[in-house]
Structure 1
Amino acid sequence: MKKMILVGRSECGKTTLRQALKGKEIRYEKTQYINHYDVVIDTPGEYAENSSLARALALYSYESDIVALLISATEPYSLYPPCVTGVCNRPVIGIVTQIDAPDANIAQAVDWLALTGCEKIFEVSSYTGEGVWEILDYLKEEGDILPWDKKSDAEKPRNIVSTKMM
C-alpha cells in the first residue's frame, strides 16, 4: 500500500479516518505528535493551523507517497489557500470527512479542495464506512491483497486431477 500523510485542522477527522481505514473501533484520541503507522502518518491539527509548526508537515510529507488534505463537511472556512498543492512534490488528494453530519455542506468542502489543486477528492464517513473503501482501493499497489479481494474457499477455482490412466 502507498503510504499516506493526513493533514488538516484539529477535529476534522484525521485520526478517526485512520481508525476506519485500519478497521479499528472508532474512539476519540487526541493526536499530540506525529504518529507513524504502517501506511498512515497521522498529524496533529495544530501543525496545519500554525505556520511555525507547518514546516514539520513538509518534512514528514517526504516520508509518504501520497499527501491527503482533509476538510470536514461541517467547517465554515477552508484552511488551505488556492493552488497550494503546487508546492508539494507528491500526489495530493482531498478527503471530505463527516459527510453524514446533519449540517454537512459536502459541495462547499469539495469546491474548497478542488481550489487547492487536489488531483482526486474522496467523500467519506468514518462512522458509516462510506467512501473508506475507495481510499483503500486508491492506495492499493500491485500485489496488495485487500479484504474484499480475498475469496472464500468455495469461490476459489479447484484444480481437478484426473485419476484416469492415459
Structure 2
Amino acid sequence: MRHILLIGSVGVGKTTLRQAIHGEDLDYAKTQAIEVKAGVVDTPGEFLESRFYKHALITASYSVDTVVLVQAADERGTRFPPGFSTAFNRPVIGVITKSGLGTPETIHEAEGQLRLAGARDVFIADAFTGEGMDELKEILCQPSTSAI
C-alpha cells in the first residue's frame, strides 16, 4: 500500500477513512497529534486550520508517497486555500467523505474546492456505506516507494 498523509479540517472523517482503508471497526476517536498506522499518517484537523501548524503538514509529507486532501460532503466551505497542493513535492489527491450525508450540490462544491486546492484526482467515498471505498483502495494499494 502507498504511504499516505491525510489532511483535512476537524471532523471531516480522516480517522474514519483510515480505519475503513484498513478494514478496522469504525470507532470515532479525536486525533490529538500526528499518528502513523500501517503507512497512513493521520493528522489533527487543527494542523490545517491554524497557520502555526501548516509547516508540520509539509514536513510530514516528506515520508509519504501521496498527500490526500479530505473534504466532507456535508460541510459547506473549505479550509484548503487555492493552490494548497503546491506546498508538497508529492502527488496530491482529494477524497470527499461522508458522501451519504451530502447532496449532489454539496458534493459538486467539495470536488471543486479540492480541485482548486490542487488535487489531481478526486474520489467520492463513504466509510459507513462502503461507497467508493473499493476504487479508493485500488489506487492506494499501489506499491509504496517511501520508507515509513
Separation (CA, whole Å) in 1 of partners of 2:143 and 2:33: 32
Alignment match, 1:93 = 93
For the residues of structure 2 that align with 1:98 and 1:142, how far apart are their CA atoms? 27
The superposition leaves residues 10-62 of structure 1 with CA deviations (integer Å, 9 ceiling, x where unpaired) of 00000000111011111111100111111211110011111101111111111
One-letter amino acid matched to 1:29: A
Paired residues for 1:117-156 under 5 Å: 117-141=118-142
Q: CA RMSD in A?
A: 1.5
1:43 corresponds in structure 2 to 43
TM-score by length of 1: 0.82
4+ residue segments displaced more than 3 Å: none
Query: Aligned pair in 2 of structure 1 residues 6, 142: CA closer, same or farther (>3 Å)?
Result: closer
Instruction: Kindly indicate whether residue 54 of structure 2 is the aligned counterpart of residue 60 of structure 1.
Output: no
Q: What's the TM-score, normalizing by structure 2? A: 0.91
Deviation at 1:87, TM superposition (A): 2.2
Q: Which has the higher contact order (CA 8 A, sep 6+)?
A: 2
**Aligned residue for 1:160?**
none
**Aligned mates of 2:21, 2:63 — CA distance in 1:** 19
Give the C-alpha shift of residue 142 in structure 1: 5.1
Structure with greater helix percent: 2
Between 101-110 and 89-98, report the one with greater CA deviation: 101-110
Say which SS state the counterpart of residue 100 (structure 1) adopts. helix
Q: Alpha carbons of 1:84 and 1:142: their partners in 2 closer, same or farther (altered >3 Å)?
A: closer
Partner of 1:14: 14
How many residues get paired? 143
**What amino acid maps onto 2:98 in structure 1?**
Q
In terms of Rg, which structure is larger?
1
Q: Is the 8 A contact 2:33 2:43 kept in 1?
A: yes
Q: Check 1:8–1:142 CA distance in 2 against 1; reply closer, same or farther (3 A cut).
A: closer
- Residue number in structure 2 paired with 1:162: none
Q: Which runs of 5+ in 1 are unaligned?
A: 144-166
Aligned partners of 1:35 and 1:129: how far apart in 2?
23
What stretches of structure 2 of length at least 5 have no aligned partner? none
The percentage of aligned residue pairs carrying the same residue is 38
CA deviations on 1:65-92 (whole Å, 9 max, x unpaired) are 0000000111121111112212210000
Q: Could you tell me how far 1:102 is from its partner in structure 2?
A: 5.4
Q: Indicate conservation of the 8 Å contact 2:58/2:87, yes or no.
A: no
Amino acid at match of 1:58: I
